[in-house]
Amino acid sequence: MTEFCVTAFYKFVRFDDPAALQDALYDELSALGVKGTVLLASEGLNGTIAGPSSVMDKALAALRALPGCTDLESKNSPASDMPFLRLKVRLKNEIVTMGVPGTDPTCLVGTYINPENWNALIIDPDTILIDTRNDYEVDIGTFKGAVDPDIETFRQFPEWFENFRADLEQQGRTPKIAMFCTGGIRCEKSTSWAKSIGVEDVFHLKGGILKYLENVPQEDSLWQGECFVFDDRVSVGHGLKQGDYQLCHGCRYPISAQDRQSPKFEDSVSCPHCFDSLSDKKRAALRERQKQVRLARLRGEAHLGDDVDLRPRKQRHV
């Protein structure tokens, strides 16, 4: 039985011509049988890919051969099945979209904190801990005591933080600010921006939640719940073991085992989050789609309906 490895990575690095890197990188990864998504932009690269464990060292070598990427770090986790249908290497304006021009973590960034030292920072009463992820990610798991900005997209984070900072200043408070996200990319960019607007004591979790769940023993962990991941596993827990969540095909929201016991849950059609908003026409279309997916699997084929954007539908336009 083939063992698969899922590798998440990112690096802020200056690419003068990211388009010139696209085709060759696609060809190298494709030849290895790797699937997933790689984003390229002038500010660097970001992605999650998967393949047989035996080829992933070569895949990482191809990524590290990109200009300035020799020290590219990755987070690896196992998967029993291939979690992606195809390989995509895409060009983007930003590798993570915050929408604040000029933010450059290669020039200015908060203080990196290794997972082993994270607990000591966040239990300090003089530290405010902020989850920089989107609402549906926070819903299924976060660090104990973390502030939830309740945002639908990362674009909304700067405005939220400006208001949050103003409230702290009105209270006469200048605490240490600790930020975290799934793999480190969002909190690295947000701490860079925070430093640029004059926040001095700002820290972020190196390697993100994934590295924390990999390195910190469960008995010492301050993480509560599971961590949403952008592939077919949906969520992971301590030790990066696959979690219990699934995706609702009606709204793409992560749904728990308890959600799946609800009378509003219909496999591949609806869940408690979207049941009341789905039209009869939409339900019928989802049922037909699932029928075609099942038929394709019986033929041993991949169905295009399986290859979906893993963000909730309300976020697709961002």
pLDDT tens, residue by residue, 112-129: 999 999 999 999 999 999
Task: State how far the Cα of 193 lies from the Cα of 216, in Å rounded to an integer.
Answer: 28
Across all residues in the chain, what is the average pLDDT? 92
According to DSSP, residue 269 is labeled T
Q: pLDDT grade, residue 1 (50/70/90)?
A: low
Q: Give the torsion sign (CA, 311, 312, 316, 318).
A: negative
**Taking residues 229-257, what's their average pLDDT?**
93
Task: State how far the Cα of 11 lies from the Cα of 217, in Å rounded to an integer.
Answer: 27
Positions marked active-site: 181
Report the percent of the chain where pLDDT is more than 90.
Answer: 84
> What angle is formed at CA 289 by the lines to CA 283 and CA 291, rounded to 5 degrees?
105
Q: What's the pLDDT at 237?
A: 96
Q: What's the pLDDT at 317?
A: 35
Q: What's the pLDDT at 300?
A: 72
Neighbour order of strands in the sheet with 4-12: 74-79, 4-12, 44-52, 35-41, 87-91
Give pLDDT tens digits for 139-190.
999 999 999 999 999 999 999 999 999 999 999 999 999 999 999 999 999 9
CA distances from residue 230 to 7, 199, 306 in whole angstroms, order as listed: 12, 31, 14
**Taking residues 84-96, what's their average pLDDT?**
96
According to DSSP, residue 316 is labeled T
Query: For the whole model, what pTM was predicted?
Result: 0.88
**Taking residues 79-95, what's their average pLDDT?**
94
**Taking residues 272-293, what's their average pLDDT?**
90
Q: What's the pLDDT at 302?
A: 60
Q: Check pLDDT > 80 for residue 310.
A: no
**Taking residues 34-42, what's their average pLDDT?**
97
Q: What's the pLDDT at 129?
A: 98
Task: State how far the Cα of 52 lies from the Cα of 4, in Å rounded to an integer.
Answer: 4
List of long-range contacts for 216-225, beta carbons under 8 Å, 24+ apart = 216/115, 216/116, 216/118, 216/119, 220/119, 222/118, 222/119, 222/122, 222/123, 222/143, 222/144, 222/145, 223/141, 223/142, 223/143, 223/144, 224/141, 224/142, 224/143, 224/144, 225/140, 225/141, 225/142
Q: Which domains does the chain have, with CATH numbers?
A: 4-91 (3.30.70.100), 111-225 (3.40.250.10), 246-315 (no CATH)
Q: What's the pLDDT at 318?
A: 35
Amino acid at 248: C
Q: What's the pLDDT at 232?
A: 87
Q: What's the pLDDT at 304?
A: 52
Chain centroid, CA 43 distance in Å: 18
Q: What's the pLDDT at 316?
A: 42
Chain centroid, CA 121 distance in Å: 23
